[in-house]
């Protein structure tokens, strides 16, 4: 465990029309440094996760982090992007900088402002994370991509509408207790299961409650090497991590298997010397409820086509054998693309530090994170454990 998270910050996700990408970056940067007890002048490197893709007129945003404190001037700063896994790409780059010996303290920030963009453009921007040559004309944008995945899954394994509604209801109930979540309302199974004026079908069998939220938000964390971390007030170490990239066209893979996800979990667990059952909880990428369902299978919680069992039998509820998305997930917490992966690491660190409040998982010792870009194209897994 050579690298640890020693401080963090997280704005509540939602609609922040009074903020800008810059103002959110500045807020979480200063708060994370203060939480870690590390001065800006002691930061060796900065990594910013910012997808943008048309959401912000201001591009080339890495240097906006320097706006938080003049002592960050002249530090190396890089913006990274890997679709909806942009935040985890930033975190993993920071970890690699430390493990390569190039830095001892790295500041990682994730940010996105989506809600100020007109609705049709939001769909167009997100669809850029698909293979446009084959998938660019799919109706309903990225929801349409996952709507097709859901239809194919239903055709192969039967109607899973009950399972998807239970996943949505679980995550909304969890999110209701999370002060950082965009939607803090327990919608219940019946509302999520039934089509209606407030819950219409969006794409294929997916209804509005099956889709993650369009959000604004930012999160930040401070990474240090283990030597420094041992002297800090809190230290959440990386026990294992993996990044697996798959083909972009869905036509080149069996889209129902999420093979990149499965390989990433296998590599990270192997790296850590752990098994899935050793984990206390998982934060996984539920951009759509069908994604969480397939991810149960890809992580090895169930066999192929049997993911519904995990939710229907309560395995992934807060009191189940492997709680999944105790934060409310992307479904309730929100999904500001560039911030999502950093958020998942922050929420997991909070759990392991015993600072998760009303969403605290009892006796949390090991936390798993899966953050996905595109339709299981960019696959990042992190496994975290408290050092002390």
DSSP H helical ranges for 249-372: 259-272, 289-298, 308-312, 329-333, 337-352
Among this protein's residues, is 84 annotated catalytic?
A: yes
Map residue 281 onto helix, strand or coil: strand
Beta strands in 114-250 (DSSP E): 201-203, 206-207, 216-225, 236-245
Among this protein's residues, is 50 annotated catalytic?
A: no
- Quick one: which of 1, 28, 22 has its CA closest to 107? 28
Contact 22, 29 (CB under 8 A): no
Map residue 46 onto helix, strand or coil: strand
Q: What is the dihedral of CA 353, 357, 359, 364, to 10 degrees?
A: 30
Under 8 Å CB-to-CB from 226, ≥6 apart: which residues? 1, 2, 3, 4, 235, 237, 387
Map residue 32 onto helix, strand or coil: helix
Kindly give the pairing relationship between strand 281-283 and strand 105-113.
Answer: unpaired
Map residue 5 onto helix, strand or coil: strand
**Cβ neighbourhood burial of 27 (10 Å; 0-12, 13-18, 19+):** middle
Q: Which helix (H) or strand (E) holds 321?
A: none
Contact 232, 16 (CB under 8 A): no
Contact 341, 371 (CB under 8 A): yes
Beta strands in the chain (DSSP E): 3-10, 45-49, 77-80, 105-113, 201-203, 206-207, 216-225, 236-245, 281-283, 366-373, 378-386
Contact 293, 311 (CB under 8 A): yes
The CA distance from 206 to 292, in Å, is 13
- Quick one: which of 291, 295, 284, 252 has its CA closest to 148? 291
Catalytic residue among 16, 50, 84, 92: 84
The CA distance from 39 to 26, in Å, is 15
Catalytic residue among 243, 285, 317, 335: 335
Contact 104, 225 (CB under 8 A): yes
So which residues are the catalytic ones?
A: 84, 335
């Amino acid at each position: 465990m050579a690298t640890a998270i020693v401080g963090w910050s997280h704005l509540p996700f939602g609609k922040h029309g009074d903020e800008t990408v810059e103002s959110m970056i500045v807020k979480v940067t200063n708060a994370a440094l203060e939480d870690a007890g590390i001065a800006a002048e002691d930061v060796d490197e900065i990594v910013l996760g910012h997808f943008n893709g048309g959401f912000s007129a201001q591009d080339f945003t890495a240097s906006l982090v320097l706006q938080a404190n003049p002592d960050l001037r002249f530090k190396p700063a890089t913006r990274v992007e890997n679709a909806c896994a942009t935040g985890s790409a930033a975190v993993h780059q920071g970890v690699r900088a430390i493990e390569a010996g190039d830095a001892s303290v790295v500041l990682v920030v994730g940010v996105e402002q989506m809600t100020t963009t007109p609705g049709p453009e939001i769909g167009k921007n997100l669809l850029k994370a698909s293979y446009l040559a084959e998938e660019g004309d799919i109706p309903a944008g990225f929801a349409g991509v996952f709507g097709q995945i859901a239809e194919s899954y239903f055709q192969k394994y039967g109607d899973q509408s009950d399972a998807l509604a239970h996943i949505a209801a679980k995550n909304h109930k969890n999110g209701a207790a999370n002060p950082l979540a965009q939607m803090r309302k327990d919608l219940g199974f019946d509302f999520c299961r039934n089509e209606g004026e407030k819950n219409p079908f969006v794409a294929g069998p997916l209804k509005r409650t099956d889709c993650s939220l369009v959000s604004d938000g930012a999160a930040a964390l401070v990474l240090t090497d283990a030597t420094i971390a041992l002297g800090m007030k809190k230290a959440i170490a990386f026990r294992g991590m993996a990044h697996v990239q798959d083909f972009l066209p869905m036509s080149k893979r069996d889209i129902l298997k999420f093979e990149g996800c499965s390989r990433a979990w296998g590599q990270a667990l192997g790296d850590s010397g752990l098994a899935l059952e050793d984990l206390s909880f998982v934060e996984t990428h539920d951009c759509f409820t069908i994604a969480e369902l397939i991810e149960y299978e890809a992580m090895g919680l169930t066999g192929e086509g049997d993911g519904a069992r995990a939710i229907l039998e309560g395995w992934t509820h807060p009191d189940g054998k492997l709680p999944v998305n105790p934060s409310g997930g992307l479904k309730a917490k929100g999904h500001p693309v560039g911030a999502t992966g950093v958020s998942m690491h922050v929420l997991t660190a909070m759990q392991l530090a015993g600072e998760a409040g009303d969403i605290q998982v009892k006796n949390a010792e090991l936390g798993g994170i899966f953050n996905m870009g595109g339709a299981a194209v960019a696959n990042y897994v992190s496994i975290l454990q408290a050092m002390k």
